[in-house]
Chain A
């Protein structure tokens, strides 16, 4: 069985770069984007094709590149050191980039801030950082999505589909963004059945294939039958769980192709929404959006299509919740909420909106999660 080698993203993008229109388009093409050409720089901390975090960004960037007048320069595997500062500066000085998207959390402080200070006319939009007015320069900004909403929906589906009532979560590090996902997933499942528990294992770093496989196997040995994860490349967790005959919920991007028999649904980024917002502002000369956040409602995140095995009841439940989220009428983190040591972390009557900054500092695991933050 001979299959032609799948055209690599690299080749696609390289081909695309050759076609990027250098000059301004005639006005007949119309629309808000028929303006001066702009060079956009993207920086990834890992490989673009990791079926996960970086790929989600790269896919959106590939869409950006298709837009007329956009020239895209990308660098991957840029470590969070001086190297990224040099890369960013190189994109600005050597390639003429005027809008940069450093996509890894660790690029924010001090690296992006340092380069932003030296290049006040260039716009920087960081993924995941906490831009604060007064503390950070105006030509910088941060954007992020409330993917915990999609993880909540993952949890709802998992809650219906799990037979052992035990869920598994393979996570990299216990930082707030990860804890928020673990909690949302668990709470979604427990909204279906309060007896459901989630076992979490931390591997210690964002990309550790052998540890992730071990963690998955260990959890499967414990009787877990639905898995999700928060690591840079979910491929290993998904495949290992599927090999053990378990079900999976995807994360970052859709891994349905990897395990079609086992893939229930997934929480995916839809970075294009954020990118186009920021790009539009740059092209039309509007002020740089400094703090861009959104969830399902704003189209910043989305869910993968349901697998064929997902039951009617599960779908209906999830869609009901989704409708409420889209209408802005559903808050995940509302009181009374206890953590898994019994302490009350959200008092009765208090409700946190997704945009509340306290959530960005989450440092607990909710009741029902077996593990330590």
Chain B
């Protein structure tokens, strides 16, 4: 009975929080002189209203699933890593650079594309694993180190893309050489969504499976729950931490690789658009559960997709989506305070029961 209530609460709390965030957003735009009903209608329409909107939403959600894993997996081992943006750009760079650095060695078609994405994952993995290693072996706070590493990665990326690996034909938009046709990732059938979505969903499912059903994943969660206890039990904490970081980084790197292979066909500054940072948001809202990341990413993808309509139809500035996401995030965080106590919000007060004298003392 209580687990059912727990699950119902686990669903109801975020939904209530979301409703609160939306309500506050409506009040906010109303104060600014706009019609909140129209805003809400456009949000829904822009996110899920028609086939175009749905595909738009799913397309935007795809990279978010992967970048959210870059926060979620280290979080399950007890670390707060926010450097996914850096891992993403390095992954994209690796994917674009491999055919250039190893000309002729990359086979065409699916095999080659797999190699590229593998390289992207390795690059991202190395970067976040570095943050994890610095934490385990040097005691450097991983939030700060991953942040700094993120900035450094972006600087390295820009330097390499506009310098040594620059495509001389990419005049006004410095990029690496475009990927050969056969190595590009296409769309899923006739839909306007590329295969990155499938990668994202599969990655989340695999991560969920790993965490809940494998010994390694369970060990990781123990380390995340109580480091000292894990060490006492003899778990190789350092290795588990670095592995979790590497896996998270690989997800972000993969996101970068997919952006290159499916969208841009080369690595350039258009990779640096904050996908990593939005992933942080998604992961926290999903409470770092890979399965929850899927719907949350779709929700945020929906918000981002709807932002266009808000701009075009209501003249709201594009920052309005950021405000909305901010409100929702704050509400969702605050809603945690009611976990386990949601029932009290709706409880009916009953008259206190008086126990017979002596009975309570005897039972205690």
Besides the known contacts A81-B273, A94-B50, 5 further A-B residue pairs in the complex with CB atoms under 8 A apart: A75-B318, A78-B318, A81-B259, A86-B59, A128-B172
Task: State the main secondary structure of chain A at its contact with B.
Answer: helix
**Residue A156 at the B interface, CB < 8 A?**
no
Query: CB within 8 Å of A: which residues of B?
Result: 50, 52, 56, 59-60, 158, 162, 171-174, 192, 259, 263-265, 268-271, 273, 304-305, 308-309, 311-312, 314-315, 317-319
| Residues of chain A lying within 8 A (CB to CB) of residue B172 | 105, 128, 175-177
Among B158, B308, B309, B314, the one with the most A-chain Cβ atoms within 10 Å of its Cβ is: B308
Task: Jot down 18 A-B pairs with beta carbons below 8 A, ordered by A.
Answer: A14-B315, A17-B315, A73-B312, A74-B311, A75-B308, A77-B317, A81-B259, A82-B263, A83-B304, A87-B308, A106-B268, A106-B269, A110-B265, A173-B162, A173-B174, A175-B172, A205-B158, A360-B171
Closest-by-CB residue of B relative to A75 is B311
CB pair B264–A91 under 8 Å, yes or no, is no
CB pair A86–B171 under 8 Å, yes or no, is no
Interface 1/0 per residue, A299-312 and B, CB below 8 Å: 00000000000000
| Residues of chain B lying within 8 A (CB to CB) of residue A361 | 171
| Residues of chain B lying within 8 A (CB to CB) of residue A74 | 311-312
How long is the Cα–Cα vector from A193 to B265 in the complex, in angstroms?
47
How long is the Cα–Cα vector from A11 to B171 in the complex, in angstroms?
37
**Residue A79 at the B interface, CB < 8 A?**
yes
| Residues of chain A lying within 8 A (CB to CB) of residue B259 | 81
How long is the Cα–Cα vector from A106 to B158 in the complex, in angstroms?
15
CB pair A86–B305 under 8 Å, yes or no, is yes
**Residue A259 at the B interface, CB < 8 A?**
no
**Residue A339 at the B interface, CB < 8 A?**
no
| Residues of chain A lying within 8 A (CB to CB) of residue B264 | 81, 110
How long is the Cα–Cα vector from A11 to B265 in the complex, in angstroms?
38
Query: CB within 8 Å of B: which residues of A?
Result: 10-11, 13-14, 17, 47, 73-83, 86-87, 89-91, 93-95, 105-106, 108-110, 128, 130, 173, 175-177, 204-205, 360-361
How long is the Cα–Cα vector from A81 to B263 in the complex, in angstroms?
7
CB pair B265–A90 under 8 Å, yes or no, is no
CB pair A81–B270 under 8 Å, yes or no, is yes
How long is the Cα–Cα vector from A205 to B154 in the complex, in angstroms?
12
Closest-by-CB residue of A relative to B321 is A77
CB pair A86–B56 under 8 Å, yes or no, is yes
CB distance from A76 to the nearest CB of B (A): 6
CB pair B270–A90 under 8 Å, yes or no, is no
| Residues of chain B lying within 8 A (CB to CB) of residue A109 | 173
How long is the Cα–Cα vector from A19 to B10 in the complex, in angstroms?
48
CB pair A86–B158 under 8 Å, yes or no, is no
Q: Which of B50, B59, B173, B315 contacts A13 (CB 8 A)?
A: B315
How long is the Cα–Cα vector from A17 to B311 in the complex, in angstroms?
13
How long is the Cα–Cα vector from A17 to B259 in the complex, in angstroms?
36
How long is the Cα–Cα vector from A361 to B168 in the complex, in angstroms?
9
CB pair A175–B270 under 8 Å, yes or no, is no
CB pair A86–B308 under 8 Å, yes or no, is yes
CB distance from B96 to the nearest CB of A (A): 14
Closest-by-CB residue of B relative to A118 is B192
CB pair A82–B60 under 8 Å, yes or no, is yes
Given contacts A76-B318, A82-B60, are A91 and B312 in contact (CB under 8 A)?
yes
How long is the Cα–Cα vector from A128 to B304 in the complex, in angstroms?
27
CB pair A86–B270 under 8 Å, yes or no, is no
Given contacts A77-B318, A81-B273, A176-B172, are A94 and B309 in contact (CB under 8 A)?
yes
| Residues of chain B lying within 8 A (CB to CB) of residue A47 | 317
CB pair A75–B312 under 8 Å, yes or no, is yes
Closest-by-CB residue of B relative to A48 is B317
CB distance from A129 to the nearest CB of B (A): 8
CB pair A175–B173 under 8 Å, yes or no, is yes
CB distance from A318 to the nearest CB of B (A): 28
CB distance from A153 to the nearest CB of B (A): 23
| Residues of chain B lying within 8 A (CB to CB) of residue A108 | 173
| Residues of chain B lying within 8 A (CB to CB) of residue A175 | 171-174
Among B171, B172, B314, the one with the most A-chain Cβ atoms within 10 Å of its Cβ is: B172
How long is the Cα–Cα vector from A159 to B308 in the complex, in angstroms?
46
| Residues of chain B lying within 8 A (CB to CB) of residue A82 | 59-60, 263
How long is the Cα–Cα vector from A358 to B207 in the complex, in angstroms?
52
How long is the Cα–Cα vector from A74 to B315 in the complex, in angstroms?
8
How long is the Cα–Cα vector from A86 to B301 in the complex, in angstroms?
12
| Residues of chain B lying within 8 A (CB to CB) of residue A90 | 52, 56, 308-309, 312
CB distance from B29 to the nearest CB of A (A): 13
How long is the Cα–Cα vector from A260 to B214 in the complex, in angstroms?
70
Closest-by-CB residue of A relative to B184 is A110
* Top-8 shortest CB links A-B: A14-B315, A80-B270, A77-B318, A79-B273, A175-B172, A86-B56, A73-B312, A75-B311
